[in-house]
Structure 1
Amino acid sequence: MTARFAVAADGWVAGATRLPSPNFAARPDGSAPPTLIVVHNISLPPGEFGGSAIADLFLNRLDCDAHPYYDTHLRGVQVSAHFVIHRDGALEQYVSCDERAWHAGASNFFGRERCNDFSIGIELEGSDATAFEAAQYRTLAALVTALVAHYPIEALAGHADIAPDRKTDPGPHFEWARLQRDTSLAARYFPYLNLSAAS
């Protein structure tokens, strides 16, 4: 059975494990609601799944001496996303959707810059080289459905869509057409994808 989620008045989602990150800020327009969902992938160390490293990164407790990649790429970095969906479909939330998580960086959505200001970031545990799990798609579809019901979401995009010079995620294995089918959202929600050409 597909999970069902509900967004509370404070922007936290019932059914997600709540792990409040210190890496967030108020949205610049006060209480202006988010209108964009950005899908990412993440694995720490790169290409390895499981463990607590993602949570440790978002909670500023990652031991950067534990792996060479952490030392060269993540030391001193403060980042977060609103959500992480693990390989088994488990959902974690790090920042209220009413606040600005630090997930997109320098970015542009059809001429509108600073996507963190108006977006919700969802990280899928995975990589550009690996297919995602069915459980992840089920959780993602349920979460997106809840977010669209609660906020005036206008579009979904990948990190690569809004930062094409810097990012490639969620990568070639992410099935956008599957997400569209699972959520029954109209094609207009997927402005970067030609759904009619998708298999």
Structure 2
Amino acid sequence: MKIIDHKLQPGWHKPSPNHGGPLDGPTLLVMHYTVSGAGAKGVADYFASPAANASAHIVVGRDGDIRQVVPFNVKAWHAGKSVWRGRSNCNDYSIGIEIDNWGRLMRTADGQVRSATGKIVDPGQAVELTHRNESKPALWEVYGETQMKALVEVTRLILAAYPTITEIVGHDDIAPLRKSDPGPAFPMGRFTSLVGGRGDASVLTRKVIASRLNARGGPGLEFDKLGVFVSGSVVEVVYDSPGPWAQVRGVIEGGGEVVAWVSDQFLA
């Protein structure tokens, strides 16, 4: 992947009509979630419509697909009313990245986990966390490894091409009273460390230190038990949340690989 004439190759989708004037010397990279299940192409097509009245420079799908609709030297309409370090209208000095993710989820009366649009979401893809700008916990969709690897790759490329960018922030940093994206499930610390070269995007593994560790279908005791990891089992970490639960992939007692949630305190 390369940036040629301010466009990703491959990755350039088609131009969005929703943009401003020239963007010279951007200093900020802003992370968003889409509140969507449409994939990178679906979101890019939406931004390519005048009716959207919004855009970001690029969209990163859950499957790692990357689409760009606004050249990096043109202002996209992604930040809205915003302020960072006393400077308003962040669209004037930032590049915006949309990550395809439902964001905030809800558990409905029928016991299902659903998106804001009512779409049923796999409970194994939800984690209960409290947003730093809020006081109560909520369910949020996790960000998968395939998506994160693609996001790290394209971010490194952008930073190399536009060295004037000195900070990476969330939409909830520049508009904290009205926006919550990319949300508490986005591993900002790990992401910025990987982008900065402090580590790599290789698989993270941990060892089970409990004699028997229940593997559950979601991050909580109320979720069904999918099996048991025995002491000494090595599991691949799919999502290491800041809360008491981690999502892992491994072989359970009796054979068979599962992706499940386990209590973080029993992993070394």
Shorter-chain TM-score bucket reads 0.7 to 0.9
Bigger Cα displacement from structure 2, 16-25 vs 152-161: 16-25
Q: Which secondary structure state, in structure 1, belongs to the residue aligned with residue 78 of structure 2? A: coil
Mapped to 1, the partners of 2:69 and 2:20 lie a distance apart of: 12
Give the match for residue 72 of structure 1. none
Structure 1 unaligned spans of 5+: 62-75, 187-197
Higher relative contact order (CA 8 A, sep 6+): 1
Q: Which secondary structure state, in structure 2, belongs to the residue aligned with residue 26 of structure 1? A: strand
- Over residues 103-144 of structure 1, what are the superposed CA-to-partner deviations in whole Å (9 max), with x where a residue is unaligned? 000000110100000100000000321001111111111111
Q: Which secondary structure state, in structure 1, belongs to the residue aligned with residue 177 of structure 2? A: coil
Give the match for residue 20 of structure 1. 15
Mapped to 1, the partners of 2:55 and 2:17 lie a distance apart of: 8
- Over residues 81-101 of structure 1, what are the superposed CA-to-partner deviations in whole Å (9 max), with x where a residue is unaligned? 000000101000010000000
Q: CA RMSD in A?
A: 2.1
Query: Which of the pair has more CA radius of gyration?
Result: 2
Q: TM (normalized to structure 1)?
A: 0.75
1:38–1:185 distance in 2 versus 1, CA, 3 Å: farther
Q: Is 1:38 aligned to 2:13, yes or no?
A: no
Give the match for residue 178 of structure 1. 190
Deviation for aligned residue 1:52: 5.5
Give the match for residue 96 of structure 2. 121
Q: In structure 1, give the amino acid aligned to 2:46.
A: L
For the 8 Å contact 1:43–1:49, the answer to whether it is kept is no
Q: Which one of 45, 60, 66 corresponds to residue 91 of structure 1?
A: 66
Q: Which one of 64, 75, 81 corresponds to residue 100 of structure 1?
A: 75
Q: What aligned pairs does 1:1-199 form with structure 2 within 5 A after superposition?
A: 5-8=1-4, 10-27=5-22, 32-44=24-36, 48-50=37-39, 53-60=42-49, 76-128=51-103, 129-151=140-162, 152-184=164-196
1:147–1:88 distance in 2 versus 1, CA, 3 Å: same
Q: Answer 1 or 2: which has greater strand percent.
A: 2
Structure 2 unaligned spans of 5+: 104-139, 199-241, 244-268
